[in-house]
Amino acid sequence: MMGTQTAPAQLFYDFDLERHVPSGRMLREIDRFLDVDGMREALRPFYSHMGRPSIDQKLIIRMLVIG
């Protein structure tokens, strides 16, 4: 089953990602070069309609690029 990312902007109560990632960091520039808009529709035939939802495909691709 195809899942989506629904995490809030602030993941933990005392931790703010915006304050910890510097503004000039390469991680903030990924969206400019990585076009993942059509990925959900391209991958839809490979996911079942039954079962547990998967991790959002956009999140997986971003994790692989960063890693």
Buried b (16+ CB within 10 A) or exposed e, 22-39: eeeeeeeeeeeeeebeee
pLDDT in tens, 48-62: 888 888 888 888 887
The pTM of this model reads 0.53
12: three-class secondary structure by DSSP: strand
SS3 content of the chain, % helix, strand, coil (to 5): 45, 5, 50
pLDDT in tens, 4-43: 666 655 555 676 767 777 888 877 777 778 777 888 888 8
Residue 18, CB half-sphere, CA atoms under 13 Å: how many?
Answer: 3
Q: How many CB atoms lie within 10 A of CB 57?
A: 20
